[in-house]
Amino acid sequence: MFEKKIAIIGLGYVGLPLAVEFGKKYPTTGFDISENRIKELAEGKDSTLEVTAEELGSSCHLRFSCELEDLRDANIYIVTVPTPVDEHKRPDLTPLVKASKMLGKVISKGDIVIYESTVYPGATEEDCIPLIEQESGLQFNVDFFAGYSPERINPGDKEHRLTTIRKITSGSTPEVAETVDSLYKSIVTAGTHKASSIRVAEAAKVIENTQRDLNIALINELALIFNRMGIDTLDVLEAAGTKWNFLPFRPGLVGGHCIGVDPYYLTHKAQEIGYTPEVILAGRRINDGMGAYVVSQVVKRMLKRRIHIEDANVLILGLTFKENCPDIRNTKVVDLVREFQEYGANVDVYDPWVSQKESQHEYGITPIDAPAAGKYDAIVLAVAHTQFREMSVDTIRKLGRRDCVLYDIKSILPKNEIDGRL
């Protein structure tokens, strides 16, 4: 068995924890095209907050680089770049294409390339591997090999970490599948599941989040129905939840790098092979429309209080796609901002977890440093950060004017002290 020399391509929420764990056991190079990212990691800092300075320091065989030549010594390459969708909800494989072409310039005979990025079934062998072959002149499954082991990182979750989440593995040949599986077993204490093929592993990943997306879409649709009936959705869910096999999903905004994106990869591939998915796309339409629905509910309550919407001051508490992490990828809170702005309202966003520079770059939104007391006509609690959970209703209401509308998307405040919730 050859000596494992690992290179991790992409040092975001997925790649960095992986690099740190492998770097405890094997010579590992963490590669990222961002010089600023490499610089902060070299200084022992992680802006994603997924890895502590102590954890970075404990990875004694890990080095960081943004130089392509530093990858040439590796014999196992693990690709962890983003796989977003474009403005038309179509898969954007640009980061994956660039990473594959780049690896084609440094890969050698006998090397293994493992992809972790979420894709549709077939993408690894049909879209990525040919690019490596073209750039390198090497033949797949003769000169080099591939694997697929989908990421299952949950940003901000300090309980379910890389090592404690069971890992799916696969390889392009039975021998490579065994090598990939044993590699991940060496760092994942929760164990592994060796899939029968790369395509099976790709499909397994993409349906994990599609299933969750559809479950939330069902609850969101129920919330739309119950609201028209004058029934509190959370009361209904709590009552139904007394049955042992009722699934505890809650209504809300469905964003992030996985649940709000992955279903489009599957539907894209389905349409490509001539099948039009009905249920999956219906769920996506419901979830994508929840931002507009929330704003419509807030606006109705403002109008009932004779609050003029145009030039009204609105405060949104939270911008990240989930609580207690700085991740703003595909956050649906942006939909709230845009909808209120369409009505002519002035919108302030406050989120102590978010980098103002990153938010401005990604969405053109600069979160405020702190909300002013007595300023707002409407306040929307959009993300359940601990800082907001610890605020009393009185504290939040003091940020608003006398007739301020307080709407709680996350249902963390007492229902008799707010003006509305999903």
**206 by DSSP, 3-state: which?**
helix
How many whole angstroms separate alpha carbon 358 and alpha carbon 362?
A: 6
Element spanning 240, H or E: helix 233-240
Residue 372: the pLDDT is 94
For residue range 58-90, list pLDDT tens digits in order.
Answer: 888 999 999 999 999 999 999 999 999 998 999
> What single letter denotes the amino acid at residue 254?
V
For residue range 284-329, list pLDDT tens digits in order.
Answer: 999 999 999 999 999 999 999 999 999 999 999 999 999 999 999 9
How many whole angstroms separate alpha carbon 318 and alpha carbon 320?
A: 6
> What single letter denotes the amino acid at residue 199?
R
**181 by DSSP, 3-state: which?**
helix
Residue 57: the pLDDT is 87
Could you write out the DSSP letters of every residue in 300-317? HHHHHTT--STT-EEEEE
Whole-prediction pTM: 0.92
How many whole angstroms separate alpha carbon 75 and alpha carbon 354?
A: 37
- 349 beta partners: 316
User: Is residue 60 flagged as an active site residue?
Assistant: no
Segments in the chain below pLDDT 50: none
Residue 245: the pLDDT is 96
Tokens of 371: 């909300």
Annotate 133-156 with b (16+ C-beta within 10 A) or e (fewer). bebbebebeeebbbbbbbbbbbbb
Residue 136: the pLDDT is 97
Among 60, 66, 128, 258, the active-site one is: 258
CB 313 within 8 A of CB 344: no
Reference 85, options 312, 259, 253; nearest CA is: 259
Residue 1: the pLDDT is 52
CB 375 within 8 A of CB 314: no
Could you give the residue ranges of the DSSP H alpha helices within 109-232? 123, 129-136, 174-185, 198-229
Annotate 188-209 with b (16+ C-beta within 10 A) or e (fewer). beeebebbeebbebbbbbbbbb
